[in-house]
Amino acid sequence: MNGKRTFGGGDQAAEEAARWFVRLQSEAADAGDWQAFEAWLAASPDHVAAYEHLESLWVDLEAAPQVIAHRLDQVALRPAPRRTRGIALRNPGRRAWIAGAGAIAASLVVAVEIANRPAGVDDTLTLRAAPGETRQYVLADGTRINLNAGSEIQVRMGRDARRVTMADAEAVFDVAHDARRPFLITSGDREVRVVGTMFNLRQRDGKMALTVRRGIVEVRPAGAPQAPATRVTVGQQLAHSQGGESVLTADGLSDSAFAWTTGQLVYRGQPLGEVAADLSRRFATPVRTADADAASLRFSGVLVLDNEPAVLRRIEAFAPVTAVRAADGVILRRRAGG
């Protein structure tokens, strides 16, 4: 292919746009790079158009990540080497920053595989999903952890036990079976004990909610391994308030606890304040309720988490509130006469 064409300069613009696009994705791009990019854009409307074209296909590719990833797997002659020994977490601080930058780019699900820790190394890893993004992690034992936005957990893969601590987080755990190394999660003042199962665990504002999709999970007070356990099984939900009682229910609606993993939130009469907190974790612009009155409104419905303005419009349609944009976020206010 000859690089230049007189008509519209299309090929050259496309090539340069691709070079800029890749260079500017790097954290190493500095003020000088962005200024040079600005000069390039200003040089020709073709440049602006070529760059926009790349952005639009970049976004379009996200429409079906599973389908595309599957296709790429089929086409590639053999699967890519997936062992990222040490990379993902060699420097947790750095990793966290990368996660933070990703948060800007909506809630695209990314998978990061955590390497097998060398024998004897038993340090604690921090897994994090910044506000605005969800993250999937695969531990060395095959356990999958899908972290909801605005969550942080600590993981320690010990020889005798696999331990997770969560103070403010929500995650779906698909725990690999390993009878000799129980999977123990300290969630607020409860300890959740797992052998091999899949469940969603939410620990927010002193309230815990556990929903089991497969297997059996035991819950007892944290730090009291001899205390009698509550067993939670498929389709059951355990709700517990810090320092208070636990309530076990089986209402046949347990699937809704997993809805966030497919980009939805399902509510049945939850206070609007809780909905606002969930949205603040999922999107770039924080959402809050104007006052206690608005916060206590009960909200029911399925919210598809495609983009924040659309979600806010749907909330306005399904609850007697208006969403008002302020300098520091969005405020949900009860509609007059609503």
Closest CB to another protein among 80 and 292? 80
CB of 114 to another protein, least distance (A): 13
Closest CB to another protein among 239 and 266? 266
Closest CB to another protein among 106 and 239? 106
CB of 73 to another protein, least distance (A): 8
Q: Measured between alpha carbons, how far is residue 320 from residues 48, 265, 277, 304, 337 in Å?
A: 43, 19, 18, 19, 9
Closest CB to another protein among 75 and 119? 75
Closest CB to another protein among 46 and 189? 46
CB of 134 to another protein, least distance (A): 11
Q: Measured between alpha carbons, how far is residue 37 from residues 51, 57, 58 in Å?
A: 11, 20, 19
CB of 40 to another protein, least distance (A): 10
CB of 77 to another protein, least distance (A): 5
Contact 132, 164 (CB under 8 A): no
Closest CB to another protein among 251 and 293? 251
Which residue(s) pair with 165 in the sheet? 154, 186
Which residue(s) pair with 331 in the sheet? 288, 324
Contact 317, 292 (CB under 8 A): no
CB of 34 to another protein, least distance (A): 4
Can you tell me the distance from the alpha carbon of 318 to that of 230, in angstroms, rounded to the nearest whole number?
37
Contact 174, 144 (CB under 8 A): yes
| Helix segments in 173-307, DSSP class H | 272-282, 292-295
CB neighbour list of residue 126: distance below 8 Å, 6 or more residues apart: 92, 96, 152, 153, 154, 155
Can you tell me the distance from the alpha carbon of 318 to that of 302, in angstroms, rounded to the nearest whole number?
10
Closest CB to another protein among 97 and 249? 97
Can you tell me the distance from the alpha carbon of 118 to that of 86, in angstroms, rounded to the nearest whole number?
9
CB of 117 to another protein, least distance (A): 17
